[in-house]
Amino acid sequence: MRSAAVRLVLAALAVIGCGEVVARVVEQQVQTPQLLWYDEATQLKVAQMENRGPTTLVVAGTSMAWQGLVPSILLDGEAYNAGLAGGVPQVMEPWLLGPVRTELQPTVVVWGLSSLDFSDVYGDTGRQIYREAPATRPGMLAATDRLLRRWSALIRQRPVLRNPSLLIGDGQVRTAERFHAAQRILGTDGERQDFAPAVTDERASEVRARISPYRVDRDDVAAIVRTIEALRVDGTVVVLVEMPVPPRFLALYDDGAVQHRVVGDLLEAIGSELDVPVLSTSSVFTDDDFVDYTHLTASAAAEFSIEVSSQLQELGW
């Protein structure tokens, strides 16, 4: 009986051993990295942050802040843009308090916020993707999986073994293309550089769906509160910035531009409640200053960043 059990274990180990050998051979063939993080750009940013080390000023927020706040203008050489696509507060909270804080140890976080950050109908998908990504999935199983990845190619290459098209064929090509696309728009300081015009009806519908009907998501406000308070414990100062939007964005609200007023009201209330500075632009940005409904053009981003930089200097940064 005992010898049978031993044989069974040995057989299992042999199978695992063979699997491990196969996986290591497979691993050598794999040219495209697996997506372990929230999205390809996030994974590339993690690599940038690892190489970068402590950084004085870090920008946070959705792609609006990611594109609109240029690190080299805000604090040349000492700033990094950690904004993420769809990086609403519930995504920013774990991102800022996790890898960003660990790697960059910022002194000041400049958090660009807009109505998208507070919208009840936007951000759930991003939060879910962040929570389900292999590198950030919570729970014991996920932690064990990450631990085993250190030693086992079988675990690391599990997705490829399950779906060989990730190794060869369309799957591999698509993955590679996504990483290339992310790499193309990523600046050396983490900023987004996607300035291709995209003013289409389809895009308008997409953005409208993110703010219609417009209600404030209490969870996002709470996430901002928790994040600011947690960063404060480390001595990190948070500065909130109201991101500009074009008239064509304001026109997408159900009740018109007046609904956008909630952003300023909320930021002012957060600033007062948590005693953090709130910056907003005095410049008038027109439709032509945006490549689409939310993202600034290169020149407008530079103009906006200069103004924010100036206000930061007035605050002593």
Q: Are 115 and 89 in contact (CB under 8 A)?
A: no
DSSP string, 21-66: HHHHHHHHH--SPP--SSSHHHHHHHHHHHHH---SEEEEESHHHH
Minimum CB–partner distance for residue 92 and other proteins (Å): 13
CA 168 to chain centre: 29
Does residue 54 come out as left (phi exceeding 0), alpha (psi in the -120 to 50 range) or beta?
beta
Task: Give the residue with the Cβ less far from other proteins, 15 or 47.
Answer: 47
Per CB under 8 A, residues contacting other proteins are 27, 30, 32-34, 36-37, 43-44, 46-48, 50, 94, 97-99, 102-103, 120, 135-136, 138-139, 142-143, 146-147, 149-150, 156, 179, 183, 215-219, 221-226, 229-230, 247, 250, 255-258, 260-262, 265-266, 268-270, 272-274, 284, 286-288
User: Cα separation of 181 and 178, whole Å?
Assistant: 5
| 26 versus 312: smaller Cβ distance to other proteins | 26
Rank residues 146 and 208 by Cβ distance to other proteins and give the closer one.
146
Q: Smallest distance from the beta carbon of 180 to other proteins, in angstroms?
A: 8
Nearer to other proteins, 66 or 312 (CB): 66
We find the least distance from the C-beta atom of residue 56 to other proteins, in angstroms, to be 21
Close Cβ partners of 118 (under 8 Å, ≥ 6 residues apart): 216, 217, 220, 221, 262, 263, 266
Task: Using the minimum distance from each CB to other proteins, give the nearer residue, 73 or 223.
Answer: 223
Between 47 and 168, CB nearer to other proteins = 47
CB of 1 to other proteins, least distance (A): 40
- Toward other proteins, which CB reaches closer, 89 or 312? 89
Residues 278 and 158: their CA atoms lie apart, in Å, by 46
Q: Closest separation between CB of residue 57 and other proteins, Å?
A: 21
Smallest separation, CB 50 to other proteins (Å): 6
User: Judged by CB, which is closer to other proteins: 101, or 295?
Assistant: 101
At position 12, the amino acid (one-letter code) is A
Q: How many CA atoms are closer than 13 Å to the CA of 8, on its beta-carbon side? A: 5
Distance CA 49, CA 3 (A): 53
Shortest Cβ 24–other proteins spacing (Å) = 11
Closest CA to 195 of 115, 103, 288, 87: 288
Please name which of 53, 57, 59, 108 lies closest in space to residue 81, comparing C-alpha atoms. 59
Q: How far is the CB of 206 from other proteins (least distance, A)?
A: 21
The whole-angstrom separation of Cα 78 and Cα 110 is 13
Place of tokens 């293309």: 177
